[in-house]
Amino acid sequence: MPPLLSKSKFTCGIQCLRRLWLDVYRPEVAPPLDPVTEAIFAAGSKVGEVARGRFRGGVLVASPHYEYDTALAHTAELLADESVPAIFEAAFIYDGVRVRVDVLERTGSRWRLIEVKSSASLKDEHVPDLAIQHYVVTGSGLQIASDHLMRIDTSYVYDGQHLDPKRLFAIDDATALVSGALNDLPEQLTEQKAVLACSEEPQVEPGFQCASPWDCPFASYCMRGKPRYWVRSLPRISRTTFEELRGMGVEDILAIPDDFPLLPAQRLVRDALQSREAWVSSDLGSQLVQVGFPIHFLDFETFGPAMPRYRDTRPYQALPFQWSLHILERDGTMRHHGYLHDGDTDPRRDVARSVLDGVQDIGSVMVFYAGHERPLIRRLADDVPDLAAPLLGLLDRFVDLWAIVKSCYYHPDFVGSYSLKQVVPAMVPDCGYDDLGIQDGTIASLEYTSMLDTCDTDERERIRQNLLAYSERDTWAMVRIWEELSRLGGS
């Protein structure tokens, strides 16, 4: 008999049957959970705890997953007690599937089934999650009046005193969507049970499902035999194009025929990989000469907690807590300034004031991807209105280094990506991040939150030094990219 399914395993199977089988029988082939994934799980648990505050009088079934019989018994007691208005983490088993329901709210003789997510919207991938719960709960004998997703409402503004669960969360009615999904569910369950009844790993070819709707932890395992330049990594490749290439037996970008229809950006990738030569636009020099000295290479680090920490902030609002600035004079003189907000207080005013002190009144302000930095400055100007004019004045001096690279330069090792972490090792391989304690912006924001929450003085200082080193490396990398472009453009 195949092992019991859970709602998480069921949704794994919806994404990919091979992922489901591996998750059950060979979980060790996936890499250990990375800090980002662990933080996402921790944030989701915290959101679930806060969400319960919206249901006054609700009772938690606290038994852990390995004490399922205890959880089932406690759930049965609470279902029978009409004085209990809501049950949290209610446990059910039906048709070989076990689920724990975030919230069951009593409505007379029927129940509202509510799934809590840290998401800011109801998404397609949430529907199977709700559907399998509805199927198991109704199969266990309960009547479900409606199905709902309880999610973060990003319009909520924190008053700085206490989180209000009624305003922090929105509840979307997903009953109609769940009803539609229930039509396919018996067939999906039959298919998943059949897969788990087999001792051999199902042979599902890697494809779009490896990253949709979630990044699969087994992707690297399943793609062991794929070429380094797999066609799936082409920028903006559609399912149709991917399937057409696969049907032709073409898996390597290098092997794409000359007469195969590609988008211009895709052809650029293919041609660069085949030639192993970087492409440099004739317009590069003319773009570089428009940049005014001194050049201020500026980068911010932000964090956006789901649960707002500071007054007049919203869930997931990007709050700048750090910046780094390298200033390059025309004569080659270079200096660096940096700022990291210490203490668990609202960082916005201090960040705004300090960056204005660091940037000189003349010269370009160079950022890498203005699509992130421009909205950040505009929002900072709204939040610190007495400094709005000089903050918005920075935008008039912005130069987007990312845009210059994207329009004028392409290196084969970009493989279609223009992110800083992809551009740096290709253009300036001696300017990497491997020697740092923090190596990307997501980890930086997580570490900053850890620094705020820890009482360990040594740990705080360790994180602080790592953050300062990482932020400085980002802007130094921008300087090095600029220098390489200047060499190539004859500037």
Alpha carbons 223 and 218: distance in angstroms, whole number: 9
Residues belonging to the chain: 491
Same domain? 453 vs 349: yes
Type of residue numbered 332: G
Residue 372: inside a domain, yes or no?
yes
Last residue of a domain, one of 196, 230, 252: 196
Contact in structure between 93 and 140 (CB atoms under 8 Å):
yes
Q: What is the count of structural domains for the chain? A: 2
Going residue by residue through the chain, which has 491 residues, state the pLDDT in tens, using 9 for 90 and above. Answer: 779 999 999 999 999 999 999 999 999 999 998 888 888 888 888 999 999 999 999 999 999 988 999 999 999 999 999 999 999 999 999 999 999 999 999 999 999 999 999 999 999 999 999 999 999 999 999 999 999 999 999 999 999 999 999 999 999 999 999 999 999 999 999 999 999 999 999 999 999 999 999 999 999 999 999 999 999 999 999 999 999 999 999 999 999 999 999 999 999 999 999 999 999 999 999 999 999 999 999 999 999 999 999 999 999 999 999 999 999 999 999 999 999 998 899 999 999 999 999 999 999 999 999 999 999 999 999 999 999 999 999 999 999 999 999 999 999 999 889 999 999 999 999 999 999 999 999 999 999 999 999 889 999 999 999 999 999 999 999 999 999 999 999 86
Alpha carbons 90 and 56: distance in angstroms, whole number: 16
Q: What is the pLDDT of residues 365-419, one digit of tens each?
A: 999 999 999 999 999 999 999 999 999 999 999 999 999 999 999 999 998 899 9
Residue 252: inside a domain, yes or no?
no
Same domain? 177 vs 316: no
Return all residues near 83 (Cβ < 8 A) that are at least 6 apart.
Answer: none
Same domain? 173 vs 291: no
Same domain? 26 vs 163: yes
Same domain? 353 vs 461: yes
Same domain? 189 vs 335: no
Contact in structure between 307 and 163 (CB atoms under 8 Å):
yes
Residue 206: inside a domain, yes or no?
no
Q: What is the pLDDT of residues 279-332, one digit of tens each?
A: 999 999 999 999 999 999 999 999 999 999 999 999 999 999 999 999 999 999
Residue 255: inside a domain, yes or no?
no
Same domain? 153 vs 44: yes
Residue 75: inside a domain, yes or no?
yes
Residue 289: CATH number of its domain: 3.30.420
Same domain? 291 vs 172: no
DSSP 27: G
Last residue of a domain, one of 135, 165, 196: 196
Residue ranges making up the domain that contains 479:
284-489
Same domain? 118 vs 21: yes
Residue 191: CATH number of its domain: 3.90.320
Using H for helix, E for strand and C for coil, what is the string for 168-206?
A: HEEEEECHHHHHHHHCCHHHHHHHHHHHHCCCCCCCCCC
Residue 62: inside a domain, yes or no?
yes
Cα separations in angstroms, 43 against 33, 34, 97, 152, 290: 15, 14, 26, 12, 45
Cα separations in angstroms, 137 against 68, 95, 175, 176, 210: 15, 11, 14, 17, 30
pTM of the entire predicted model: 0.92
Residue 153 Cα to chain centre, angstroms:
18
Same domain? 73 vs 187: yes
Same domain? 189 vs 288: no
Last residue of a domain, one of 174, 196, 218: 196
Residue 316: inside a domain, yes or no?
yes
Residue 47: inside a domain, yes or no?
yes
Question: Quick one: CA dihedral 230, 231, 234, 236, positive or negative?
Answer: negative
Q: What is the pLDDT of residues 177-194, one digit of tens each?
A: 999 999 999 999 999 999
Tell me the three state secondary structure of residue 366: strand
Same domain? 180 vs 294: no
Alpha carbons 293 and 272: distance in angstroms, whole number: 33
